Structure 1
């Protein structure tokens, strides 16, 4: 019989596989969302207290952050829209995603940049992400069961991405929309 130190056995018993896939960089995503753009400009978007309350009222969720990572997409001097970057927790790990927003604050596109969970990556399926297109914070359709379908086995990822998109749509309506 071979002797194996207890510390080795303990280390083996607690080791868990790591699942993390980087699908797109922010630069790739902005070009995917706005292929006609010839310029992208990072913007500082900071919400004041009144805007935070408006976002919470529109989204039905805590505003969560004062600062938002936003990139404006332009063709010449014409604004095509914005890409807003965010992270939400899936079941245990962060999901990095981006929402393309039209100048009228409606959703143009949703892309998953990085997924770190072992299950639920079906949220990357184009058919599921297309459900968000054209919806806005005011539409009431940015909710699971009310315009957005759930995916069995990816319930938390679906719910958290949907909540995140709804929050971003509200931020767009309050701070970016015309």
Structure 2
């Protein structure tokens, strides 16, 4: 499960809207000096706050700190669908046009057409699965702020029960 801390900014029935603070991994990357992403981070161009709708069965209030999670498999499948599938469709359509001895402008148009068709497929699938609870982020637990100002996790858990120290 991939986890991200955040703060509840709105409440719906069965879900909450959580604002997260995106962190950059540029300090740990060896290519940080030649990377466009690192440059955008240094210039402050990129928006650093994210807004996530997460399913929750906890009794939360606006302003509560929470940990939101999503399964790795969901994230991996989404990344493949959004990034890899259109690229493969572009190359496949261009390769097929090339194998049919099409001229270069038609090969380029075929590649663009393959990309656009894959984009339509991704969009249609995303609209069809938008309401699937198995693909939604969930609130894993609420965070309590201790007296020293440090947050303590695990006091209130949702869907992920921790029985450490239980005498059953």
Q: TM-score, normalised by structure 1?
A: 0.24
Higher helix share: 2
Larger relative contact order (CA 8 Å, sep ≥ 6): 2
Larger radius of gyration between Structure 1 and Structure 2: 2
